[in-house]
Every structure is written in structure tokens, then in C-alpha cells.
Structure 1
Amino acid sequence: MLALMLLPVPLALAVMPGAFAGGGTRRWFGGRGESRRADAQAAKDAAAAAFYELDTAQRDLRISIETITAVDASPGARRAVDDFAALGRRIDEVSHAYITAVDAYDLDRDDLEASAASRAQSELNRAKDDLVRVKGELDRFEQGLGPLLDKAETQLTRLAPAVERARQALLSASNALDAVRASGLRADDLAARLAALGPELTKLNQGAGQHGVAETLQRADRVLRDAEAVRTEAERLPERAAETDKRLVSLRTRAQALANRAAGVEPVLSELRRRFTAACWQDLQHVPEQAAESVHQAEGKLREAAQARSEQRWADATALLSTVRALLNGADEAVSAAGDRLNRLNAVSKDPEAEIQRTRFAIRDAQRLAMAGRHTPDPRHARPLDDSVARLDRAIGGLEGRHPDYWHFLTETEAVRASVARVVEMIREELGGGH
């Protein structure tokens, strides 16, 4: 107690109960001075809270921007990055002003004057207001990011499932290929296509962090599509082999049958030459040679196709079999044309009236349609129908004489019916359009 009584009065007052309020030892102001210190401290606390809120918001928003840039390279995303950078510069400015204001005043000093406390309060309030203002700009910017962020998060949500689907597709393709090989089919081209996807799988495993989300999603989709194609073809390969074997047998049989039919064309041509004028058969006289040549070429392609099948070159075998089919179709049509010609000429030479009546009926039917609901026909309809009547009359006149050209007669009546059919179609289209 004696030692305490010997202390100077201010120091003794400083250690009185309540002298430690606010932290640290300070000179007792009392009254208005202490109030200003408290106001300045309150301003400092408010500015610190605003600074913390702004810093937290900026950190959260930076994560959103990084999410967007990892996925989106669109002009809108690039503008968002630039706008965020500009906001960052404004945040740096107001943050620097806040830190400067805090560092400029030690509110715990014993000798802090009331005027200094007032200046501190003013500068800290201004710093707080600037921090709050920029925080408002940041909030508005964040609201505008909504669509871009939703799109980016959607793609990120797709990422893991897409990569996993690609991996599973590769596994399924590999299993299907193993099963095909176990059945004795080599499937070398499918194996090569599957092996080519190996580097793509490596990049998928390296992840979006190295290759980007958008590129990884595209790669996963591409790997999935290609692997599915390999799996599908591998699973179908046994069926394709069976189909190829079946087509080889079928086309070989057909080629043999056509060779026999082609040999029978010459007797048909002999009868045509004997009974009808040259105009009726001249275009057919090379059918036997052409048909035989087509069959010969088809047999050569069949041998090539069989070789491709034995070597399991499926695409080559399929292409060669398509060529064989085309050659045989051509030969079949040529051989059939000779027999059909003889049959039609026999029929018309015995009874040309049936062909005449058939054609006249078509003309009359068209004329009735052209006059339906009219007193006079439309010239666009009447003219071709009148021409058809005249053309039929000329064809009938050509049958007179000792050696009529029946083939010319048949081609003319067919042409007349085709012309009439076009008029009928025109009329019906116009009637339909009128409704």
C-alpha cells in the first residue's frame, strides 16, 4: 500500500478498476473525448465488417468465374471475366483506402486527440461506404452471372457421368470383340478402331483439369459414339458372316440359272426375225452376247467376293456382292426383255383391237374429266387430248400392209396413254388446289 501511495497521480488513476476497458493502457479522456474515440472505434469496426463481407463475396464470386471459364469460352463468358477483373481493380482501390485509413490512426494511443479521433471516424466511415458501394456492384454482377453459371454447373454435372459412360462403352466394345474372336472371326479392322481409342481414354483419365471441361465432354461423347459403333458391329459380325455366305450361295445359283436362260434367248430371237419386221427386234439382237458377258463378269466378281470372305474382308466382300447383283440384274432384264417382246408381239398381232380399245378408253375417260363442270374444255387439257387421238389414229393406220410394225404400234399406244395420264394428273391437281 505504501508503494501505491507513492505513484504519480495519473498513473495511479490509470490502474484503477475499469482503466483496461478497450484493451491496452490509455490516458483517461472522460466526457466528449472518450465519446469521439468510441465513435471512431465503432466506425473502424463497421468498416472492418464491410471489408470482410466484400472480401468474402469476392472470393466466392471468383470460384463462380473459375467455374464458368473452365467450361465456357463464349463471348459472354469472356465479357464476364473482363467485368470481374474491372470490379477487382475497384475492390483493390477501396480496400487500399480502407487499410490506409486503419493504419493512419492508432485508436488505442494514450495521447490520441479528439480531433484525430474525429478524422479517423470520418475517413473510416467513408472507407466503409465505399466498401459497401462496391459490394453492391459485386452483388449485382453476381446476379447477372446466373445464366452463365447455371450452364457451367450443368456441364460440370454432366462431366463425371459422361466420362463413366465412355469408359463403360469401351469396356463393352472390348468384351464384344473378345467374344467375336473366340468364335473364330478375326475382326482386325474393329480391333484397330478400338485400339485407336486408347489415347482418347488416357486423356479422359487425365481429367478436365488438364484438358478443360468442354473438351473433355466432347471427347467423352466421341469415345462413347465410336465405342458403341465398334460394339454394335462386333456383335453383328457373326450374323454378317452368315449373311455373306448366304448371298454367295444365292448369287452363284442365280448366275448359273441366268447362264442357262441366256442360252435360250437365241431361239426367241430367231422366231422374232422370222415372224416380225426388223424394227421389232433389232434392239435385241445383241442380248445373248451381252447377257453372257454380264454373267461371266458376275462369276469373276463372285470368286473375288469368296476370297474376300475367306480373308474376312467384310467391306470388300459386301461391295463385290453388290456388283455381282447389279450385273445379274442387268442380264436378267435383257434376257426377260426378249421373251416379253415376243409375247407382246404375239398378242397384238392376233388382236390389235384390244390395245386400241384400251387406249381409246383412257382418252375418253380423260375427256370426260376435262369436261366435268364445263361447257368447253380448258385448251391446256383439250390440246394434248386431241393430239393423242390423232396419234392413236396414225398408229392404227401403221398396221395396214403386209408387214406391219407391231412394235412401233405398241410403243405409240403406250406413249399416248402416258400423255393422257399426265393430263389427268394435271386436272386432278387443279381440282384439288381449288378446294
Structure 2
Amino acid sequence: MSLPALVALALPAAFAGGGTRRWFGGRAESQRAQAQEAKDAAAAAFYELDTAQRDLRISIETITAVDDSPAARRAASDFEGLGRRIDEVSQRYIQAVDAHDLDRADLEAAAATRARAELTAARDELVRVKQELERFGGSLGPLLGSAETLLARVAPAVERARQALLAASNALDGVREQGLRADDLAGRLAALAPELTKLNQGAGQHGVQQTLERAERVQREAGAIRAEAEGLPEKAAEIDHRLVSLRTRAQALTTRAGQVDPVLSELRRRFAAACWQDLQQVPAQAVENVRQAERKLAEAKAARDAQRWADATSLLSTVRALLNATDDAVSAAGDRLARLNAVQKDPQAEIERTRFAIRDAQRLAMTGRATPDPRHARPLDDAVARLDRAVAGLEGGRHPDYWHFLTETDAVRQAAAQVVARIREERGGVAH
């Protein structure tokens, strides 16, 4: 056969056989490899976006767990919007992957090229959304920092609450060993048990802010219980001391009350009725007050024995008030006689003392002025006139009303003192 005939016979075989397959196969394999690289790059971008989204979701959950501000709610809403955008680009990536089987033996170059283009576009979208996600994450810095700071306080706060409860329980055990029941404190401590249960359940169930507030409340209340428990022995000793002291004082007042009648007798004999009539009931009232005080003391003793500390303290306060009133009334009789004796002997001393107070106020009113302010001059003029009337009341009569005179001079001095205080306040305000 001739060479041209052999060539003619070989050419169809060359185009239909290995020669043609090697040329197209080499190009397809190259496109397949590039498409596979695009697929791997898209897969890496998809993984990185997914990781970034999961990390950012943790940040958002941290913020929303502790912060209900408009800024925090807006951040959560923005994150949801980004999530929808991520879902869209992720779906396109998955569709691109599913649409092209790069492992097919008969993959054509054109199909590989299309696959590479679609996968590259999917990767680019994934990268762009990840960049948006990163920018958004960067804007959360202040919110996230505040939230993390608050979260960091939870565990220490809960632990402090637990330690405070333990300390309160130990303090109660200590006072019980001394024979003090402290039932009310034990009841208050038992009431904190549900709060401790909620603390143990954690902030995830009850909220961070609520957990912090609960921990602080428990710590505060447990601390108060502990302090009161530790103070119980001292309180018991103080109540015992007050019982003895007030009982002794009641006995002494009984003796002093018996001395009022001679004082009243002298007042009746030497002074006008107006000087002593208001003291007539002092002896009987003193006896009644002391009797009531003794009954309350017995009740206080019973409350102390029953360890009703609040009741004992309240009753002792009542006893003290009764004895104070009695002491004042008994003392008033003796003081009245002493003051009346002094003014009867030398009324001029009381008059001069009062005039000095008026003149002192008048000098202050005139300081820096040619004429006094009428607001100051008028009450001082009234005080002068009132003193003159009081002095005139002492003239004539066998038994002047010295007590009225003394109450008037007291009132005049108070009026002068009020003017002085007003002037100083006004001038001090201007200077300031």
C-alpha cells in the first residue's frame, strides 16, 4: 500500500483515537484542577464564615444575656439581618457545589470552566459577607466589654453570697452554744434558702443582672443576720444591765417623790397660788409613773427570759420614758422653789440680765446702720415693753406673781435671741 493510503487510513484513527483524547483530556484536566482549586477555596471561605458567625453569635448571646438597652437590642437585630444574608450566600455556595461533579470521568473543559466561575463567585460572596461580619463584630466592642465585665462579676458575687450564708449559720450556731435561741434570726436565715437555690441554678436560667442583684441581696441580708447574731450576747448583757439600772432608778425616784410634798408646802406658804398650782399633781403623778414603770420592768424581765429581745428593748424604753418624765416633774418642784427664792431675794438681777439681752440685740441691729431695720426694731421694742410690764407686775401686793415674772423674762430673752439669730443669718447670707 502506498504512503498516502497509509496516511489516509491512519488519520481517522488519529482523530478518533488516543491523539484526540489526549489533547482534549489534557485541557479538561487542567480546567478540572482549576475548578477543584476554586471549590477548595470556596469551601475554606465557607468554613471561615461559619466559624466567624458562630463566634459572633456567642458575643451577641453574651451581650443580650446581660443588656436590654436599645443598643443591645439593635445589635441583636442587626446580627439577625446578617444571618439572613449569610444564609443566602451559603445557599448559593451549596448550589454551586451540588451543580458540578468535578470527579466525573467525562467532565468537559467547558463544564469545568463554568464550575470554576460559579465556585469563585460563591467564594467571593462568602468572603465579602465575612468582611461585613468582621466589621459588625468590631462595632460591638463597647457592648461586649461591658457585658463580659458584668458576667465576670457573677461567680464572685454568688460565692460571696454563699460565704455570707455560711458565716451567718456559723454565728447562729455559736450563740446557741451560749444558750441563746435566736429563733427570729434562724427564721430569717431559713427564708434565704430559696434564694440560694436560684443562685445555684445559675445566671443562665435566671438572668445575669437578676442573679447579681439576688447575690448582693442575699449577702447583705446574711451579713445582717450574722451581725445581729454575733451581737446577741452583748445585747442580752446590755438588757440585763438596763433592767438592774432602771429598777434602781425607780426606787430612787420613789424616795425623791416623797420629798416633793415639803417643797410644795413651802411654795404654798410663801408664794402666790399662780407660782405653784401647776405642780399640785406632781407627787401623785410621780407615784403612778413609778408604779407603771415597775410593771413594765416586770414585763421586760419576762420578755428577756423568753429571749424576745425586741419586746424587752421596747418595754425598757417605755420604762425609761416614764422615769424621765417623773424625774423632770420631781426636779421641777425643787427648781421652782430655788428660782422663786432667788428672784424674791433680788429681782433686779433677773431684770438686768434681761435688759442686757435686749441691749445686746439692739447694738447688733444698729451695727453699720443709721436706723434699725423695722423687722428687727419692732420685736425688740415689743420686748422692752413686755419687760416693763413684767417689772410693773412685781410692784404692790403682798405676794407678787414671781413665777409669771420669770416666765415673762424668759420669753423676752428668747425674743431677743431670735432677733440676733435672724440678723446674723441675713448678714451671713449677704456675705456669702
List per-residue Cα deviations over 1:309-363 (Å, max 9, x = no partner). 1111111101111111111111111111111111111111111100100111111
Show the 5 A alignment for 1:227-306. Answer: 227-306=222-301
Contact 2:168 2:223 in 1 (8 A): yes
List per-residue Cα deviations over 1:138-179 (Å, max 9, x = no partner). 222212322232222223222222222222222222222112
Q: Does 1:412 align with 2:397?
A: no
Give aligned pairs, total: 418
The Cα of 1:187 is off from its aligned counterpart by: 1.5
TM-score normalised by structure 1 residue count: 0.89
Contact 1:27 1:111 in 2 (8 A): no
The Cα of 1:404 is off from its aligned counterpart by: 1.4
| Range 411-420 or range 423-432, more displaced | 423-432
Letter in 2 for 1:431: R
Q: Which residue of 2 aligns with 1:105?
A: 100
The Cα of 1:388 is off from its aligned counterpart by: 1.3
Contact 2:267 2:337 in 1 (8 A): yes
CA distance in 1, matches of 2:147, 2:42: 35
Show the 5 A alignment for 1:41-120. Answer: 41-120=36-115
Change (3 A) 1:8 1:270: farther
CA distance in 2, matches of 1:128, 1:142: 21
Letter in 1 for 2:85: R
- RMSD of aligned residue pairs (Cα, Å): 2.5
The Cα of 1:112 is off from its aligned counterpart by: 4.0
The Cα of 1:108 is off from its aligned counterpart by: 4.1
Letter in 2 for 1:87: L
Report SS of the residue matched to 2:369.
coil
Q: Which residue of 2 aligns with 1:154?
A: 149
The Cα of 1:92 is off from its aligned counterpart by: 0.6
The Cα of 1:109 is off from its aligned counterpart by: 3.7
CA distance in 1, matches of 2:354, 2:65: 76
Letter in 2 for 1:171: L
Contact 2:14 2:20 in 1 (8 A): no
Contact 1:27 1:110 in 2 (8 A): no
**Equivalent of residue 393 in structure 1, options 388, 395, 401:** 388
Gaps of 5+ in 2: 1-12
Change (3 A) 1:92 1:10: farther
TM-score normalised by structure 2 residue count: 0.89
Gaps of 5+ in 1: 1-6, 17-25
Contact 2:161 2:215 in 1 (8 A): yes
Q: Which residue of 2 aligns with 1:28?
A: 25
Contact 1:295 1:328 in 2 (8 A): yes
Change (3 A) 1:183 1:27: farther
Q: Which residue of 1 aligns with 2:161?
A: 166
Q: Which residue of 2 aligns with 1:357?
A: 352
| Range 106-115 or range 421-430, more displaced | 106-115
**Equivalent of residue 199 in structure 2, options 178, 201, 204:** 204
Letter in 1 for 2:365: A
Q: Which residue of 2 aligns with 1:431?
A: 427
Letter in 1 for 2:299: E
The Cα of 1:300 is off from its aligned counterpart by: 0.8
The Cα of 1:243 is off from its aligned counterpart by: 0.3
